[in-house]
Amino acid sequence: MLLLVALAIPVGIISALVAKALLWLIAEITNLVFFQHFSPVLGSLQGNHLGAWVILAPVAGALIIGLMARYGSEKIRGHGIPEALEAILLGGSLIQPKVALLKPISSAISIGTGGPFGAEGPIIMTGGAFGSILAQLFHLSSAERKTLLVAGAAGGMSAVFASPIAATMLGVELLLFEWRPRSFIPVTVASVVAWLLRLPLIGHGPIFPITPHGPISINEILVACVIGIVVGFGSGALTWLVYLFEDAFLKIPVHWMWWPAIGAVFVGIGGWIDPRVLGVGYELIHGMLRGEILGAALLGLMIGKALVWSIALGSGTSGGVLAPLLIIGGALGAGIGQVTPVGDVGLWAMVGMAAIMGGTMRSPLTGMFFLLELTHDINVLPALLCGSVAGLAVTVLLMKRSILTEKLARRGQHIAREYSVDVLEMLRVRDVMEQDVPLIPGNTPLPKYAARIASGDPLVCTHQGTLLADEKGDLAGIITRGDVVRAFDRSHDQTMTVLDAGSKNLRIAFPDENLRDVVARMLRHDIGRLPVVDRINEKKVVGYLGRSGILAARERYHREEELRERGFRYNEEPVVQKI
């Protein structure tokens, strides 16, 4: 853990520097394309004077991205988070150095030419790439590489949005697939370091400051739940829409390199009709949080952004999902909030943004803390919690997978993101071992033992292995059926004993050992059974642990999950059942 913490510090520094470079590059390309001048300040695209020529801007950017993806690296396609998940779970947390270079450049080109994306997905992938590269330089294990990859991703998000808590939670809820100090602490360190470095590089937070709300009432909590439910259904529709367009692009009889350009035509048309749908749209998010966008403007923004974003994302171009989701969820929440007699439009926009993150990304805690850090409005935290959890509740009932994991599932890579304690960690060997295990004398002739197996003698046929005893009745070895076959292949000596054919160098287990540790020992030594012995006297056999006992532990877990019992229990003391 200390080694990973030490490495997480430079990972956080690199993530902040890359975030600064990416935001600068997006601003420069945007101002050059839409306003024909260089400036590091990113403004609204609504004031551009390109007219119908605006249609060509996204197309030109998409053509460059298609070429970069085909001749550079195909992994720059997409919005970054599914690719990070794939690298963690299936690629040994290995990311190529060229991805770290090409991903931010391609995303800056995509967003700078009007792509309806955010910068967070690319910076998550880019920060993760640098974390993975650093881990490879130090020859770390796959699990350690994963920690630094996630640390880089969290550092990138923290630097872009001034959100160290939400970035850490994103790593926990989306990428780590565990909650261990070994991984959680380094990710936190990288996130905080990137946030601290953001202050001189980019500026202080919050990036969307608003007038704080007062204490939340019960009526506002109820409205927040309603908005969360409605946004949850909207999240399901949005996910369906994205993959509807992705399936449509798969049917186009041209190389995938040209798909981003085809999708960009629709983005350009949408931008010609309503320039608000182009670019990251941070000013729109801030406007909704301040309650400045109302009525038909909200409806048009929500529909237009959802359509052009879904088409562009389905085409396989490069860009993030977070900013578009905030715009769509905020517009939906604010639209519902306009007809409620309590609260204000800005509050319900916040709840809608949190809810769409909880529903679409299946990250309710990230959504809640993210909006809190974007606005520093602490009083609305209960409403954000209710909205994000309500959105999650709807989507888990509607869909098997989120918008992030559905992409991997379509490649045959099914991911379960639910955290639970390993049942093997909850049990001791004594809970699953077989007791009263018979031993046979070690001087038993091997042919006689083989004959007993052939006759189906239950004393020697119950298990794959049989424990052997010496003259004193103490544990001396173990013999398996494979040992019998190998012994007869080597020699036909009729005087050979079972102890000669079996194994005397035993791996053992103790009754009070954690079952997970013992199973790891069995896997490490490639054995399927262990004699369980007394901790004081290792020659005294007290049980036998085989594969059936381990499977019985899993069966116990499933029984506790699925078996519903009737009536009340009147026992004062819990009853422990042996498997």
Q: Which of the 8 DSSP states describes residue 452?
A: H
Can you give the pLDDT at residue 287? 92
Strand 439-441 relative to strand 465-469, pairing = parallel
CA 529 – CA 546 distance, rounded (Å): 4
pLDDT exceeds 70 at position 294 = yes
CA 508 – CA 477 distance, rounded (Å): 10
Cα 273 from chain centroid (whole Å): 37
pLDDT exceeds 90 at position 318 = no
Is pLDDT larger for residue 52 or for residue 563? 52
Lowest mean pLDDT among 191-205, 270-284, 471-485: 471-485
Question: In this predicted model, what pLDDT tens digit does every residue of 32-71 receive, in sequence order?
Answer: 988 888 888 877 777 777 888 889 999 998 899 889 888 8
pLDDT exceeds 80 at position 151 = yes
pTM of the model: 0.78
Q: Domain 423-562 falls in which CATH fold? A: CBS-domain (3.10.580)
Torsion angles phi and psi, residue 480, rounded to 5 = -115, 170
CA 494 – CA 517 distance, rounded (Å): 40
Coil, helix or strand at residue 322: helix
Name which of 271, 196, 200 is nearest 9 in CA terms.
196
CATH architecture of 2-409: Orthogonal Bundle (1.10)
Residue 349: CB partners within 8 Å, gap ≥ 6?
288, 289, 291, 330, 331, 333, 334, 337
Euclidean distance between the first and the last CA atom of the chain, given in angstroms as a whole number: 37
CA 332 – CA 324 distance, rounded (Å): 12
Confidence bin at 560 (pLDDT 50/70/90): low
Residue 18, token pair as written in the block: 């890359």
Please give the single-letter amino acid code of residue 458: P
Confidence bin at 81 (pLDDT 50/70/90): low
Domain borders along the chain are: 2-409, 423-562
Q: What is the residue-wise DSSP string for 235-273?
A: HHHHHHHHHHHHHHHHTSSS-GGGHHHHHHHHHHHHHHH
Residue 392: CB partners within 8 Å, gap ≥ 6?
232, 358, 359, 362, 364
Residue 370, token pair as written in the block: 């993210």
Region 349-356 average pLDDT:
95
